[in-house]
């Protein structure tokens, strides 16, 4: 049974007994409000409809993870070896120096989330790559936990088996596996590092407590509170063996002068930094432009070249001197502009959402200012239960985030919305996700 058929069966079940399921939706809202499914202190908005992923979907996700990881490893190798290729990324020299430090372990990007537009037929197009401060595992975990006890899922269990994606213990396993590649210490001390004002604290606390349950010292520490001495990073008198870096590179760059000790700790390479600066090579959105250039395509196998051609959206730097501005304004619905290195959909503008005058204003405002112009890909749309709008069935645009730990696929983060950009700041919704199999 495919995902489209499962969705249809769930929807029909709900519509046959709207009143009872609406009451359960209200109960579920209260349970979410009392849960840890929060973002910036607020309950995560959701719909009364999970995303169901089949064995076939999971196999698709694993396959694309393998291919994209191979492509990224070749790009990063090229960056490290070729000074001229390095110039394409336009990183500051001091960031390049941190990127060029010797490897501490095998993976260049130990944690990632590949955000894709994935349709019912298994076709997909990449939206963005997140290898720097990857988040939202706690939203997914808590929503799925709450929904496992909802009436909708309980009733659906008569015909289907549900398995939530486990995103915490699997990451802890991979952190320790990575550390063991070069170290024999059985009880490393771990710091989860980010500025508290920018942190997903519920998520950090969940990771911290799970590390502690394994008998490991773990604290959440701001990078400006770490000290560098004797070749290691310290928190007070505690030597740190592992930094789980949630501090995004953009924030590291913006606060360079306040975190000199942390930067020295990165340079020394004695404290293991899980989340190396090398991951910035594929995190920065300019990677989509570089992937499509002949110099990069020549690094790849025929399968990988075809993968890039099929699944990476057209991308150029936003430099109006070298673009046809009249065409871009006339056909504004075909384009979206994005900053090369921001997060949470900040500074992203889709032409189809704005008047020609406003679109032209954004183009000129962002011109030659570390922005990209990209093909706007219409996200796949699905009908979903929406109890907030009176009618219970609405069409929503979908985006699917794939969690990749140590280059292995582990789970899914699903979001939907009605606007051209799907995110929390654009009135998006997070959905619980389940690996689903029909019984019998």
User: Which of these, 125, 144, 116, 113, lies nearest to 399 by C-alpha position?
Assistant: 116
pLDDT at 252: 96
Q: Alpha-carbon distance 52 to 49, whole Å?
A: 9
Give the mean model confidence (pLDDT) for residues 183-198: 94
pLDDT over 70 (residue 24): yes
Q: Name the DSSP letter for residue 128.
A: E
pLDDT over 90 (residue 16): yes
**Chain Cα centroid distance, residue 91:** 22
Mean pLDDT across the chain, nearest whole number? 94
Q: Alpha-carbon distance 257 to 99, whole Å?
A: 18
Give the mean model confidence (pLDDT) for residues 363-367: 94
Q: Alpha-carbon distance 264 to 259, whole Å?
A: 9
Q: What percent of the chain has pLDDT over 70?
A: 97
Q: Is the dihedral of CA 11, 15, 20, 25 positive or negative?
A: positive
pLDDT over 90 (residue 392): no
The CATH-assigned architecture of domain 314-376 is 2-Layer Sandwich (3.30)
pLDDT over 90 (residue 229): yes
Cβ neighbours, 10 Å, residue 419: 13
pLDDT over 90 (residue 164): yes
Q: Alpha-carbon distance 143 to 155, whole Å?
A: 18
pLDDT at 425: 63
Record: fold of 3-284+380-438 = Rossmann fold (3.40.50)
Q: What percent of the chain has pLDDT over 90?
A: 89
pLDDT at 342: 66
pLDDT at 360: 94
pLDDT at 345: 57
pLDDT at 235: 98
**pLDDT tens figures, 41-59:** 788 899 999 999 999 999 9
Q: Which two tokens stand for residue 24?
A: 């359960």
Which residues, at least 6 apart from 44, have a Cβ–Cβ distance to it below 8 Å? Answer: 32, 37, 38, 139, 142, 143, 424, 430
Burial pattern 297-331, b for ≥16 Cβ within 10 A else e, equals eeebeeebbebbeebbbebebbeeeebeeeebeee
pLDDT over 80 (residue 37): yes
User: Which of these, 21, 44, 174, 49, lies nearest to 432 by C-alpha position?
Assistant: 49
**pLDDT tens figures, 323-349:** 999 999 999 999 999 998 866 557 899
Give the mean model confidence (pLDDT) for residues 154-171: 96
> Domain-by-domain residue ranges, the chain?
3-284+380-438, 314-376
pLDDT over 70 (residue 297): yes
pLDDT at 424: 63
426 or 327, higher pLDDT: 327
């Amino acid at each position: 049974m495919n995902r489209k058929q499962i969705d249809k069966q769930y929807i029909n079940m709900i519509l046959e007994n709207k009143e009872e399921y609406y009451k359960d939706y209200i109960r579920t809202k209260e349970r979410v409000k009392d849960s840890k499914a929060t973002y910036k202190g607020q309950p995560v908005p959701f719909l009364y409809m999970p995303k169901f992923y089949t064995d076939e979907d999971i196999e698709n996700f694993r396959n694309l993870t393998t291919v994209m990881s191979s492509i990224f490893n070749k790009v990063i190798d090229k960056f490290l070896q070729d000074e001229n290729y390095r110039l394409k990324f336009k990183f500051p020299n001091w960031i390049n120096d941190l990127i060029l430090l010797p490897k501490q372990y095998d993976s260049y990007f130990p944690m990632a989330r590949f955000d894709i537009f994935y349709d019912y037929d298994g076709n997909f197009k990449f939206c963005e790559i997140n290898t720097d401060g990857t988040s939202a595992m706690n939203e997914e975990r808590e929503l799925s936990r709450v929904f496992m006890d909802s009436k909708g899922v309980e009733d659906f269990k008569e015909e289907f088996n549900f398995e939530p994606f486990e995103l915490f213990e699997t990451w802890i396993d991979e952190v320790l596996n990575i550390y063991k590649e070069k170290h024999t210490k059985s009880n490393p001390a771990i710091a989860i590092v980010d500025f508290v004002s920018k942190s997903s604290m519920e998520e950090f606390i969940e990771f911290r407590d799970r590390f502690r349950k394994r008998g490991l010292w773990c604290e959440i520490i701001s990078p400006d509170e770490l000290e560098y001495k004797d070749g290691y990073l310290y928190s007070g008198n505690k030597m740190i063996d592992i930094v789980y870096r949630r501090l995004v590179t953009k924030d590291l760059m913006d606060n360079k002068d306040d975190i000199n000790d942390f930067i020295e700790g990165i340079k020394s390479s004695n404290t293991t930094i899980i989340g190396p600066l090398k991951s910035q090579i594929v995190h920065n959105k300019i990677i989509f432009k570089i992937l499509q250039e002949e110099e990069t395509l020549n690094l790849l196998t025929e399968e990988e070249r075809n993968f890039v051609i099929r699944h990476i959206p057209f991308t150029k730097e936003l430099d109006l001197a070298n673009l046809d501005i009249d065409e871009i304004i006339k056909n504004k619905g075909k384009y979206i502009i994005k900053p090369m290195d921001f997060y949470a959909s900040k500074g992203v503008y889709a032409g189809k959402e704005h008047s020609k005058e406003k679109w032209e204003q954004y183009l000129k405002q962002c011109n030659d200012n570390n922005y990209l112009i990209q093909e706007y890909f219409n996200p796949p749309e699905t009908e979903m239960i929406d109890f907030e709008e009176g009618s219970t069935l609405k069409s929503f645009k979908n985006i699917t985030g794939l969690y990749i730990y140590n280059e292995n696929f582990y789970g899914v983060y699903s979001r939907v919305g009605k606007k051209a950009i799907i995110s929390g700041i654009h009135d998006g919704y997070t959905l619980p996700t389940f690996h689903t199999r029909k019984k019998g």
